[in-house]
Amino acid sequence: MTGTTVKRTVVEPPSPTVDEVFLVDPSITARRRQRIIVAVSRLALAVLGLLAWELTSGRLVSDFWISRPSAIGEALVRFALDGQLLPAVWVTLIETAVGFAAGASLGILVGLLFGVSPLVARVLDPFLTALNSIPRVALIPLFILWFGIGFETKVIFAATLVFFPVFMNTFAGARDVDRDLIDVIRVMGASRVDAVRRVLVPSALVWVFAGLRMSVPFALIGAVIAEMFTSDEGLGYLIAITANQYDTAGSFASLLVTTMLGLALTWGLTQLERRTLRWRPNTD
């Protein structure tokens, strides 16, 4: 007798599509629905606010005081056509970026130093607390006296606003690290530098990025305030000159551009945080 061989064909099920995955996991569908609701609600609130502003101006409140969205849009177009807008944004952006980088770097270094050495923290803490208590605006005349009215004054003033939030968050993150982990890695033969690099810094990154996100608007505020006192360019100068000319629409237009710049910088830092801290669960 001759045997008959039966060949069986195994048919693999097709891979699920994106829509099928959403149907399977209700949490994904819920998060997507929530994002849509949040986006639509934000857009609706913005439209309603602008519409109420436009209808109120000139009727309930004089447009000399609050202007109106349509006039602000015209002022933005005027600034763009006159060639004032883009150079002002560029100058403020450079000052903000350099001041933020300088203040954040120094804040992270000092915060880690305090976290590594409690003795240094106890010695220097009252001095930093005293410096943090000084009103920053009061420093501008001294900065003008020391550094002049050039680029350095804006950068240093922005850095002073950035330093303390980053320092305090970094220091808090360094103190929050589990000391048992450091002891274990030291017992395994790691040096003090290895303990800082492999345990202390990664554990404090969440706190560091919290301080960085908090400090981005401070850097922009510092650059703009310094420009209002010491500059003939930048968004701060544009705000000051339009206010001096009683150009309410121009002042609001300058403030709007400053706000959009701050939102863009914050968004960019948030994206960097997500890429750096990929191990964190996504709570969006």
pLDDT tens digit sequence for 163-210: 999 999 998 888 877 666 776 776 776 666 767 777 777 778 888 898
The pLDDT of residue 206: 85
Least confident segment among 37-41, 98-102, 134-138, 187-191: 187-191
CA 122, CA 10: separation in Å to the nearest integer? 71
DSSP 196: I
**Does residue 27 register a pLDDT over 80?**
no
Mean pLDDT of 64-77: 90
More confident residue, 190 or 76: 76
Question: What CATH number matches the domain at 68-276, 3.40.50.1820, 3.40.50.150, 3.30.559.30, 1.10.3720.10?
Answer: 1.10.3720.10
**Does residue 53 register a pLDDT over 80?**
yes
CA 20, CA 113: separation in Å to the nearest integer? 51
Tell me how far the alpha carbon of residue 2 is from its chain's centroid: 78
**C-alpha R_g of the chain:** 27
The pLDDT of residue 59: 85
CA 239, CA 27: separation in Å to the nearest integer? 46
**Does residue 216 register a pLDDT over 60?**
yes
The pLDDT of residue 138: 86
When pLDDT is cut at 50, 70 and 90, the band that residue 57 belongs to is: confident
When pLDDT is cut at 50, 70 and 90, the band that residue 8 belongs to is: low
In this prediction the pTM is 0.81
183: helix, strand or coil: helix
More confident residue, 2 or 44: 44
Least confident segment among 28-32, 79-83, 103-107, 269-273: 28-32
More confident residue, 121 or 81: 81
The pLDDT of residue 21: 47
Q: In 3-state terms, the chain is what percent helix, strand and coil (to 5)?
A: 80, 0, 20
User: Are the beta carbons of 98 and 161 closer than 8 angstroms?
Assistant: no
User: Are the beta carbons of 95 and 228 closer than 8 angstroms?
Assistant: no
Domain extents for the chain? 18-56, 68-276
Considering 15-29, 191-205, 227-241, the range whose residues carry the highest mean pLDDT is 227-241
